[in-house]
Amino acid sequence: MSTRDERRIGDARGETRATLTLAWPMTGSMLALILTDTVDVLMIGHLGEEALAAAALGFNYFILFVLFAVGATSAVSALGAQAVGAGDARGVRRTMRQGLWFGLLASGPCIALMMATEPLLIFLGQDPALAAMAQGYLDYLAWTILPLFLILVFRNTMAAYEVVRPALLIVLSLVPINVGLNWVFMFGGLGLVEPMGLPGAALATLIAESAGVAVYILYLLRAARFRAMALFQNLHRPDWPRFWALVRIGLPAGGLSVVEHAMFVIAALMMGLIGTTELAAYHIATQVLSLLFVVPFGLSQAAAIRIGAAAGARDLEQVRLRGRTVFRLTAAAMGLFGLLLWLLPETLIALFVNDADPNAADLIALGAGYLVIAAVFQLVDGLQIVACGALRGLNDTIAAFWLGLVGYIAAGAGFAWLFAFPLGLGGAGVWWGLAVGLALVAGLALARFHHQTRAAGRAFRRLLPDEAPAPGESPA
């Protein structure tokens, strides 16, 4: 083996370690958020079936705005990582500052839309009583989007420096706080307030998230690395080129998250037309997949940061290496998940089914069939989100959004309808349609990344110029 080959193997191994070190805390943070939501559902379940149904309506609408916030603020980690790669600490500070302003401005329309949910639900044919309960829930939950935006900006600023474990610890610390506040506000625990029922769950979430903002601020003020950067200096000062760069990169990234979720919502509506049991089996199968999906989600976040840092340093060879590495890691992980779904579909579905349910056998049979189809497309499901994350590291989010719109909605939802109804495949047809959409996005996004990284001029043309201050210049 030549010295050059040994160096390449060493570089690949080092990059694999660096990517996994960055990705696993991000994966853990997403699992912690899922745990928080699961605990909320369990506690709301004690309020009764109507409260649970109203919470489902409100939360499924709320999650659209959460996904938008997660996608939109990912621009902070991309631009921040590029500034780190360029050795531009001032660029990191300016990115966070403009990210905070972006979050404050974007949260306003989100809150306004959620405060007007009741008439929308009634228009869509939902029971007026449930719509009113869902609105009462969202009257508090809507305001959570503001601290969520701020938390995401802080977290992504830290991630630009690959500091991700404190964020995991903060998320984990908020879980018991949320549980305790649920008990106080939902059920009147400790006798501090009158029981609020369902709105109390939303108020608990709002307070817990606000506490999270305070914890992040304290950390950034006290941690040595960030204290020296004076991240909160000159918060009032605008940096319009960087602000509009965040808008230009963040809005399409947020839109991509929303249209991907929309494909699965449309699929659920189709399942409802096919049958109640099919819809229930679809819901269980997607719950299983969502637990597995946190791994490619974490890898996609790591891809944006690692590739963004290499792009900021204008190192095309490292951009290519980091892309290859994260794609191979994704393929390996999703291959294992596909094997798991293929071999144990009935066992996985049965974990979510009550044996006393008269439709238990049908639910398990249908859900297992859906998971077998999902096993086939696990590879492309993981690669599509990671490839879009890699493009985000190059600020190439507008193209990724259009790829998603074509793949998720036109192809995914379109073929799901074609296979399910005209071709008569029913619920299985919906899943095969989803497979087509995900495969198309994966193929197009991977091709786009390969095309963009063939030459430095093409790969780096969307990056902001290096704005590191000259010696003696004030680092505003």
Q: What percent of the chain has pLDDT over 90?
A: 69
pLDDT averaged over every residue in the chain: 90
Give the residue, 137 or 1, on which the prediction is more confident. 137
Rounded to 10 deg, the angle between the 49-85 and 198-222 helix axes is 20
Residue among 14, 29, 31, 86 at smallest CA distance from 292: 31
Give the residue, 136 or 191, on which the prediction is more confident. 136
pLDDT at 283: 82
Quick one: pLDDT band at residue 473, thresholds 50, 70, 90? very low
Contacts of 311 (CB under 8 A, 6+ apart): 82, 85, 319, 393, 394, 459, 460, 463
**Does 276 score more than 90 pLDDT?**
no
Give the residue, 121 or 217, on which the prediction is more confident. 217
Contacts of 123 (CB under 8 A, 6+ apart): none
pLDDT at 105: 96
pLDDT at 43: 86
**Does 385 score more than 50 pLDDT?**
yes
Between CA 196 and CA 364 the distance in angstroms is 37
The tens digit of pLDDT for each residue in 162-189 reads 999 999 999 999 999 999 999 999 999 8
Among the ranges given (30-39, 87-96, 227-236, 350-359), the one the predictor scored with the smallest mean pLDDT: 350-359
* Torsion angle of C-alpha atoms 432, 409, 297, 295, degrees rounded to 10: -10
Give the phi and the psi of residue 313 in degrees, each rounded to 5. -80, 0
Q: How far is CA 422 from CA 416, 418, 419, 429, 435, in A?
A: 10, 5, 6, 10, 18
**Does 329 score more than 50 pLDDT?**
yes
Between CA 320 and CA 460 the distance in angstroms is 13
Asked whether the beta carbons of 391 and 399 are under 8 A apart, the reply is yes
Quick one: pLDDT band at residue 127, thresholds 50, 70, 90? confident
Degrees, nearest 5: CA angle 194-213-154: 155
Between CA 170 and CA 450 the distance in angstroms is 37
**Does 400 score more than 60 pLDDT?**
yes
Between CA 156 and CA 164 the distance in angstroms is 9
Asked whether the beta carbons of 419 and 405 are under 8 A apart, the reply is no
Asked whether the beta carbons of 159 and 24 are under 8 A apart, the reply is no
Residues 71-90, mean pLDDT to the nearest whole number: 93
Number of H helices, E strands in the chain: 19, 0
**Does 472 score more than 60 pLDDT?**
no
Between CA 312 and CA 47 the distance in angstroms is 51
**Does 95 score more than 60 pLDDT?**
yes
Tokens encoding 18 = 């660096």
pLDDT at 34: 82
**Does 409 score more than 90 pLDDT?**
yes
Quick one: pLDDT band at residue 6, thresholds 50, 70, 90? very low
**Which amino acid makes up residue 81?**
A
Residues 19-26, mean pLDDT to the nearest whole number: 93
Contacts of 352 (CB under 8 A, 6+ apart): 284, 287, 288, 367
Domain ranges of the chain: 23-230, 251-468
pLDDT at 31: 87
Between CA 429 and CA 446 the distance in angstroms is 26
Residues 287-293, mean pLDDT to the nearest whole number: 89
**Does 114 score more than 90 pLDDT?**
yes
pLDDT at 469: 42
Tokens encoding 305 = 């940061």
**Does 106 score more than 90 pLDDT?**
yes
Among the ranges given (80-89, 284-293, 380-389), the one the predictor scored with the smallest mean pLDDT: 284-293
Signed CA dihedral, 337, 341, 342, 343: sign only: positive
DSSP string, 205-267: HHHHHHHHHHHHHHHHHHSHHHHTTTTTTTTT---HHHHHHHHHHHHHHHHHHHHHHHHHHHH
Signed CA dihedral, 315, 319, 321, 325: sign only: positive
Among the ranges given (216-220, 348-352, 419-423, 428-432), the one the predictor scored with the smallest mean pLDDT: 348-352
Residues 114-135, mean pLDDT to the nearest whole number: 89
Q: Which DSSP helix (H) or strand (E) runs through 186? A: helix 165-187
Give the residue, 4 or 474, on which the prediction is more confident. 4
The CA radius of gyration of the chain, in Å to the nearest whole number, is: 23
Tokens encoding 54 = 């109203």
Asked whether the beta carbons of 423 and 365 are under 8 A apart, the reply is no
Q: What percent of the chain has pLDDT over 70?
A: 96
Between CA 243 and CA 153 the distance in angstroms is 13
Q: Which DSSP helix (H) or strand (E) runs through 57? A: helix 49-85
Give the chain's end-to-end CA distance (angstroms, integer).
51
Quick one: pLDDT band at residue 9, thresholds 50, 70, 90? low
pLDDT at 470: 40
pLDDT at 3: 45
Give the residue, 407 or 280, on which the prediction is more confident. 407
Among the ranges given (253-262, 274-283, 420-429), the one the predictor scored with the smallest mean pLDDT: 274-283
**Does 427 score more than 90 pLDDT?**
yes
pLDDT at 466: 62
Give the residue, 161 or 42, on which the prediction is more confident. 161
**Which amino acid makes up residue 287?**
Q
